[in-house]
Amino acid sequence: MLSRFRFWPTHFSATSKHIGNTDHSCLLALCAKLPNLYPAPTNACMLKKIKRLFSADPVSAVTLERIPASEHGIRTREISGNALKVIDELQREGFEAYLVGGGVRDLLLGGHPKDFDIATDATPEEVTRVFRRARIIGRRFKIVHVRMGREVLEVTTFRGTHEGGAGKRHAVQSDKGILLRDNVYGDLQSDALRRDFSVNALYYDPSSEEILDYTGGMRDLKARRLSIIGDPEARYKEDPVRMLRAIRFRHKLNFELAEETEAPIRNHANYLLEIPPARLFEEVLKLFLSGQAESTLRGLHEYHLLPHLFPGAAEILDTGSEQHQRLLYCAAANTDERIASNKRVTPAFIYAAFLWPTLQEQMEAHRADFRGGDQELLMNVSNGVLLAQQQKTAIPKRFQIPMREIWNLQLRFDRRDGKRAFAMLEHPRFRAAYDFILLREQSGEDLKGLGAWWTEFQHADRDRQIAMVNDTKSAAPKRRRRRRRPARKPQPE
């Protein structure tokens, strides 16, 4: 019975746009004429579903544009073979299935996307019944991960308007209007209108090689314009992360923001206060590991979004020293260079760089009153800096530990006498800490040639390394040795 029931929207879809405000009796009569599918609905729940399908809705006015292969230029050989297999299998089972999102967008822009997302009318539970190696993840937004070999493909069910959710189990909004849970399912058209930007709402059907466009995404793509779908203020309030995505796509794709998309961002940046730190951490990775970190940093500062991600860095860019400002931009630019060169980039380095100016300022502010060495001072101050940052974006421990090590090693680079220089080379964080030294010098900080010394030392042969250490030892000022007081002799009784 359930396997037949999932087809009922398909049977009605062809006639629903002509019926409009049909009364209940007509709907019941229409259902009775559909033989062998299901009995005429006699309960209020079924009747409500059908009435909602036929009710007049502004969505029905949306025009579908079909773009043939001769016009869009996508070829199936450019798409992951596993993604095509998943779509083909879903279609064989009687479901709709399309390639959607950034994969389609990037193919149209001449790129080579690595990730391909799939949208279908099959529910998550139905997808897991079709594919043996599939599992449902997520609570706020259920998706299915289908594993094909080493590749994991993301399959989502068509979304509907959250107002139609059957109670809080399906759609939940906070008292400030932010969508906390959105597991209301719909059809292809409603799914297109629930997506964020028009260029991300293009659906590719491998079987017909057509692109389906409900939102004018192809026009925006050709104009290199980023347009949000629906009312911008309402969509940003519903999910404030869309403001971050707007900035990211603007710089990643080199698009212009449509005027109505851009206008509300500055005034509504405080919506991000409602987003959990763990989710903002994931967004930070996407923002700064997309290959356009420097321009993205400038964009976040320009649209007043940076204080909700890195409040210390935002303050530095507003009122900090020029050297500290250059450090932030140099860190972002170096990240872009490493990504362009296919070199490894760790979030620990990015966070260490963005928090370093604040760390330095607080160390100077506490140095006069602190009784202890620089290492102890750094440790105490870093605890407060990390705690404050985690109120905005979470930092997993697997990144906090390397961050602290990078910071601590900055104080040890000047200690090069004896075996210390050789021990530094063996430290697992030496390379990251060395890159950080070069970054500080690049920003204009005077480190007395430390970067050049360590560059030569790590590439020199053993004899030259020993000579460099000896030269450093002879050039260092001699410390006056403190004389110990002789131990008092015990007085005879």
Q: Return the structure tokens found at 114.
A: 């690595």
If DSSP codes are grouped into helix, strand and coil, which group holds residue 490? coil
CA angle 116–122–123, rounded 5-degree value = 105
What end-to-end distance do the CA atoms of the chain give, in Å?
A: 104
The residue annotated as part of the active site, out of 121, 182, 191, 196, is 196
For the question of residue 196 being annotated catalytic, the response is yes
Q: Return the structure tokens found at 147.
A: 């594993």
Angle between helices 322-340 and 311-319 (to 10 degrees): 120
User: What's the farthest any 2 CA atoms get from each other in the chain?
Assistant: 119
Cα–Cα distance for residue pair 295/310, rounded to 1 Å: 16
Q: If you compute the radius of gyration of the chain from its CA atoms, what whole number of angstroms results?
A: 30
| Closest listed residue to residue 294, CA positions, set 246, 341, 228, 339 | 339
| Closest listed residue to residue 352, CA positions, set 451, 440, 292 | 440
For the question of residue 115 being annotated catalytic, the response is yes
According to DSSP H, which parts of 341-449 are helical? 347-367, 374-389, 397-410, 420-425, 430-442
For the question of residue 374 being annotated catalytic, the response is no
The residue annotated as part of the active site, out of 117, 182, 220, 336, is 117
If DSSP codes are grouped into helix, strand and coil, which group holds residue 205? strand
CB 460 within 8 A of CB 468: yes
Residue 99: CB atoms within 10 A of its CB come to 26
Q: Which helix (H) or strand (E) holds 233?
A: helix 232-238
The residue annotated as part of the active site, out of 57, 115, 187, 205, is 115
* Non-local CB neighbours of 332 within 8 Å, separated by 6+ positions: 288, 293, 294, 296, 297
CA angle 464–449–472, rounded 5-degree value = 45
Cα–Cα distance for residue pair 191/160, rounded to 1 Å: 6
User: Which residues are part of the catalytic machinery?
Assistant: 115, 117, 196
